[in-house]
Structure 1
Amino acid sequence: MAAVSTPRPPRPERLRIPGEQLLLAGLFLYVLVLVVLPLGRLFIEGLKQGEAGEWLGVVREAWAGRSFGRAFWNTLVAAGASTLLSVVLGTGAALLLRLTDLPGRAALMFLMLLPMLIPPQISALAWIGLGGPSSPILGLLGLAPPPGTTNPLYSMGGIIWVMGLEHAPLVLLAVAAGLASVPRDLIEAGRIVGARPARVVVHIILPAIAPSVLAGAALAFVSAIGNFGVPALLGIPGRVTLLTTLIYQRLNGFGPSVLGEVAAIAFVLVGLAIAGLAIRTIIQRRSGAAIDRTGPIADPFALGRLRLPVGVLTWVGVLLISVLPLLALIATALVPALGVKLSLETLSFANFAWVLSGSAMVQRAFVNSTILALIASAICCIVAVPLAYFAVTRRNRLAQLLDLLSDAPYAVPGTVLAIGIIIVFLPPLPVLGFSIYGSFAIILAAYLSRFLLLALRPVAATLRTVDPGLEEAARIVGTPPLRRLWHVMTPIVLPSALAGGLLIFMSAFNELTLSALLWSTGTETLGVMVFFLQYEGNSPAAAALATVITAAVMILALIVDVIGRRFAPGVVPWQV
């Protein structure tokens, strides 16, 4: 039988048509202005000399302060402890959902992933409403803390708890993906020699998925390092300062005059994030021998008589962790004022009415967030398609470099990116002569930088699955490169781009970290409004707004899930 030859990928083409050159130049300017300059200027600002001209004076002054030392150690403790909690919960959930015949596994998976879909500030707000002295649910049960006492969530323990739950889905997804690739032969070998399921899990499965556990742990640690919503809502009232909230408090109190100082503090956030990812890479490379993952996926273990009690305990635990805080959030929104006990007599929809139609500021925030999310998702998708085409299909080296650089704004903490955006766009723009600092445009610039990756990665992943012969055939028949892009490749990647665009809309619609440092009067966003309503003591209104946002996010998540399953499988992060 004659060997079947696979088509070779097309050779890289030189750009000969001016239209291509202009398009690539536009992509270069996009990444240069929104990615390279903010992060580059951030480092330059932080590395400046001090007032006395000493070398690295700004860094020395910023790091020498007592408040920085406390915030640094608080960040390490909170990130480390919350990551440990995330690993325990995420790994345990993945093992139960993937390796056993637990009842309702699909529904349990969705409930376990709820914290990933809900913004951090709303998760924190939900737990505040559940655990405080004014908790409507604990009050009905007679379990609420005594009136006048401090909410126990306003503490380091509260920050660790909520961040651990918030990032557990990242570990769950990573471990579930690893378990799905463990071949049946590996598990059956343990069963043949008489090993019980628990022994098979401990001595065969856990070593096989150790790299996946480490990958999830690294993602949880990096996410905890850059988390702002949870430390802001729980740490500021509890006087527990982390690096992200220290940066916010310095900028909020002193304005642009402390840009050099906060840039120096931001260096530490970047360093911690890089260290977490580097440790993961090193451990993965040294984690034993490779495993043959080409065999069929193993069947789940039968729990037998334990199926019902384990199922009940799992369901109760998941409902308490994922659903009860959301019920507390809704209950808080249904009381007319903070401290009023929820009952049929006190039940009120006044907070929802005020949020939806009674506050001009909230209405403006709805409009601002919707417009920002729509524009950011549209522009990022428009940029992602040609950039991925040049980088993946055409294998253009400049495009590949731009593709690599696009990872940076999403990898670094949002607070770091916001500082870089301020440094770049605070001075008047060249030629135009005016500054966009404090305007709608600077928030949009930050969104365009941070969320490009969410559209770029799905499109690039889809292009890698396209037969290279399709591009080669179009080139042979004389189709110009730009026509190949728009008429051949764009229809193929459109569903992936649409799924990525919806992910961007979901992320931008309720974003807080960037907006908290960039907003001004008239440019309020929904994330900022939730934060400030709670900060001002109007918890019922904040809960009502958070409930509306959560409902909108759930609807969008359902749409993304349908698109991802029907048209672009594998591009939605929670589909494993």
Structure 2
Amino acid sequence: MRTALTDGRPLLERGGGALAILTFCAVLVFAILPMARLLVAAMVPGGTFGANALLAPFLSRAGQGAVIATLETATGSTLLALCLGSALALVLTTADVRGRQALTFLFVLSMLISPQVAAVAFLSLAGPSSPLLTTLGLAPEPGSVNPLLGRGGVILVMGLHHAPLVFIVLATGLKRVPRALIEAARIDGARPTRIMTTILLPILRPHLVGAALLAFVAGVGNFGIPAVLGLPVNYVTLPTLIYRRLSSFGPTIITDVAALGILVGALAGIGVIAGRFALRAPAILLEDDARLAPFWRLEHRRPVVEAVLWLVIAIVLILPGLGLLTTALVPSHGMPLTAATITFEHFVEILLRQQVTMRAFANSFVFAGASALFLALLSIPLAYALARRMPRLAGLISGLIEMPYALPGVVLAIACILLFLKPLPLIGHSLYATPWIILFGYASRFLAVVLKPVAAAMGQIDPLQEEAAALDGAGFWRRLKDIVAPSLLPAAAAGALLAFLFAFGELTVSALLWSAGTETIGVALYSFEEAGLASQAAAIGVVTVAIVAATMIVLDLLRSLLPEGILPWRV
């Protein structure tokens, strides 16, 4: 029982009112204001409500086509992701597969690589100009169309890219299954296949629904894959339509893109809300020492199953990676890779000669690093305030903070443009077309990523430590500095690295917020691919993949310092 003061308040609620104010300000600035500004621009253009202006983009032929394309790609990719992700989750969690951790790491790596890099990698792998297929003598006839361009390619690549998301949700759910339940079934003579169909799948039904909805939301908001694989053949989804509209000019452009942004946000929001309800379904409680362990002994079938698993990894990561690498190592796209043609000229070009790419790499490091550091520092007082000062409001506040991350990045980018297009009050300066608007967009989008591990670590701090310090006369800020902050620093550092991981190659937000001099590496890669400079775009992609993989390895080495369940590849 907590010690109370003479006024009846718990001891740990003494002081810290500034943290409550800080929390409300953070939620207001990073979550509520951008979304509110988007709603106002779409529904009250010019200060008066205009239903016609709101509905006009949806009634146009381009708008209707984009809605259909978005639903097609989101639905098709979700089905593919659900089949692949759930199959791997069941096998890797229940079977005695060798190299399980390596397979999981590589599978999740394929998702953490930014979508536009994944799209460029698959585009480099297929088609008549593929250096890898040309080297192997398997390239299609010259002049034929790359089979990945268009609707089918977008669905395929997006489904493969989002399959690890389904895998993470289901693997996490499988870890909640009591080991005793499986052991009892085995004692009764149930085979592994029967255990899966009669025990695991019914228990996992809420997680299956939640995973499917999350994959659908990711498909609705995906910009990089439809931009690389769809726009060259005029296959336009809602995010790419918004990009095209913002690239043009007109008297109603702000209202149009705001209305389209609301539509994308509404489609994604329905999926997010439904997914939350699905994942809140009653679950079997699990004791800490009763985790599900692999129970399926594959015996003579193990080499075959392992070969199939590595084939999946080859399809989703290794082969596209080789396609990307070979494209970056040949003098021009379409040439075979031989000892005579191999060159590192494109890497030298993007890293040491091209001012645009050098600046883009520097900008991405600065923007991703600065926003990650800021969020790490902000997350410590926020996590403490939610746990100690306002536990009853923690669920609502966490939901608001997660909103910019859950909704498509293109919606957040439009909200940022509308919010900062005019000069700020008192300051008199606009953040639009400056680096600050990108930093704000990253901070708003990835605050939930950093806060999650810090909040989990905060839940592991025993309040008795703080109460003892308070009884010894330690004030609020002293307790926060000497007891709480040191305990939360490892989780804050891990959250910052995760945010850096997501932000470094990000394109969905920065594609609409960048201006001359503030290009990010995602924007540079897409610009090179759009300009037909496939080899240089591939070189950028290879460097980006290397940086993402290195960051994941650093996080994995620090896993012993982190709360359990934070690293998505350690499920």
Which TM-score tier does this pair reach, normalised by the shorter chain?
over 0.9
Unmatched 5+ residue regions in structure 1? 1-5
What do residues 305-332 of structure 1 show as CA deviations (whole Å, max 9, x unaligned)? 2112222222223223221100110000
Q: Distance in 1 between matches of 2:373 and 2:53?
A: 39
Q: Distance in 2 between matches of 1:296 and 1:361?
A: 50
- TM-fit CA distance, 1:33: 2.6
What do residues 194-224 of structure 1 show as CA deviations (whole Å, max 9, x unaligned)? 3322222112211112222222222211111
Q: What's 1:3 paired with? A: none
Q: Distance in 2 between matches of 1:512 and 1:299?
A: 39
Select which of 274, 284, 289 maps to 1:291: 284
Amino acid at match of 2:35: L
Q: What's 1:416 paired with? A: 411
Q: Determine helix, strand or coil for the equivalent of 1:551.
A: helix
Q: What's 1:272 paired with? A: 267
Q: What's 1:249 paired with? A: 244
Superposition CA RMSD, Å: 2.3
Q: Determine helix, strand or coil for the equivalent of 2:234.
A: coil
Q: What's 1:38 paired with? A: 34
Q: What's 1:451 paired with? A: 446
Q: What's 1:159 paired with? A: 154
Given the alignment of the two structures, is residue 81 of structure 1 paired with residue 81 of structure 2, yes or no? Answer: no
Given the alignment of the two structures, is residue 146 of structure 1 paired with residue 146 of structure 2, yes or no? Answer: no
- TM-fit CA distance, 1:102: 2.0
| Bigger shift: residues 348-357 or 471-480 | 471-480
Q: Distance in 2 between matches of 1:60 and 1:229?
A: 26
Q: Determine helix, strand or coil for the equivalent of 1:513.
A: coil
Amino acid at match of 1:391: L
Indicate conservation of the 8 Å contact 1:390/1:400, yes or no: no
Indicate conservation of the 8 Å contact 1:392/1:400, yes or no: no
- TM-fit CA distance, 1:460: 0.9
Cα separation, partners in 2 of 1:16 and 1:314, compared to 1, 3 Å: closer
Select which of 482, 489, 504 maps to 1:487: 482
Indicate conservation of the 8 Å contact 1:50/1:57, yes or no: no
- TM-fit CA distance, 1:471: 2.0
Q: What's 1:462 paired with? A: 457
Select which of 341, 352, 368 maps to 1:357: 352
Q: Determine helix, strand or coil for the equivalent of 2:509.
A: helix
- TM-fit CA distance, 1:301: 0.8
What do residues 246-271 of structure 1 show as CA deviations (whole Å, max 9, x unaligned)? 11110112279512111111112121
Given the alignment of the two structures, is residue 188 of structure 1 paired with residue 183 of structure 2, yes or no? Answer: yes
Select which of 494, 500, 509 maps to 2:504: 509
| Bigger shift: residues 140-149 or 243-252 | 140-149
Cα separation, partners in 2 of 1:313 and 1:299, compared to 1, 3 Å: closer
Q: Distance in 2 between matches of 1:426 and 1:290?
A: 47
Given the alignment of the two structures, is residue 565 of structure 1 paired with residue 564 of structure 2, yes or no? Answer: no
- TM-fit CA distance, 1:95: 1.2
Q: Determine helix, strand or coil for the equivalent of 2:143.
A: coil
Given the alignment of the two structures, is residue 94 of structure 1 paired with residue 108 of structure 2, yes or no? Answer: no
- TM-fit CA distance, 1:352: 0.5
Alignment of 1:376-455 (within 5 A): 376-395=371-390, 402-455=397-450
Q: What's 2:53 paired with? A: 58
Q: Distance in 2 between matches of 1:400 and 1:314?
A: 39
Q: Distance in 2 between matches of 1:515 and 1:449?
A: 13
- TM-fit CA distance, 1:304: 1.8
| Bigger shift: residues 91-100 or 108-117 | 108-117
Indicate conservation of the 8 Å contact 1:136/1:332, yes or no: yes
Q: Distance in 2 between matches of 1:16 and 1:209?
A: 43
Q: What's 2:296 paired with? A: 301
Q: What's 1:231 paired with? A: 226
Q: Distance in 2 between matches of 1:343 and 1:293?
A: 56
- TM-fit CA distance, 1:572: 2.0
Indicate conservation of the 8 Å contact 1:72/1:243, yes or no: yes
Q: Distance in 2 between matches of 1:99 and 1:139?
A: 40
Number of equivalences: 566
Q: What's 2:44 paired with? A: 48
Cα separation, partners in 2 of 1:261 and 1:291, compared to 1, 3 Å: same
Q: What's 2:207 paired with? A: 212
Q: Distance in 1 between matches of 2:251 and 2:443?
A: 22
Q: Distance in 1 between matches of 2:278 and 2:428?
A: 50
Q: What's 1:478 paired with? A: 473
Q: Distance in 2 between matches of 1:209 and 1:400?
A: 24
Amino acid at match of 1:266: G
Q: Determine helix, strand or coil for the equivalent of 1:406.
A: helix
| Bigger shift: residues 257-266 or 348-357 | 257-266
Cα separation, partners in 2 of 1:299 and 1:332, compared to 1, 3 Å: closer
| Bigger shift: residues 464-473 or 63-72 | 464-473
Q: Give the % identical residues.
A: 42
Q: Distance in 1 between matches of 2:255 and 2:130?
A: 42
Q: Determine helix, strand or coil for the equivalent of 2:515.
A: coil
Cα separation, partners in 2 of 1:350 and 1:455, compared to 1, 3 Å: same
Q: Determine helix, strand or coil for the equivalent of 1:520.
A: coil
Q: What's 2:324 paired with? A: 329
Cα separation, partners in 2 of 1:170 and 1:398, compared to 1, 3 Å: closer
Q: Determine helix, strand or coil for the equivalent of 1:418.
A: helix
Amino acid at match of 1:313: V
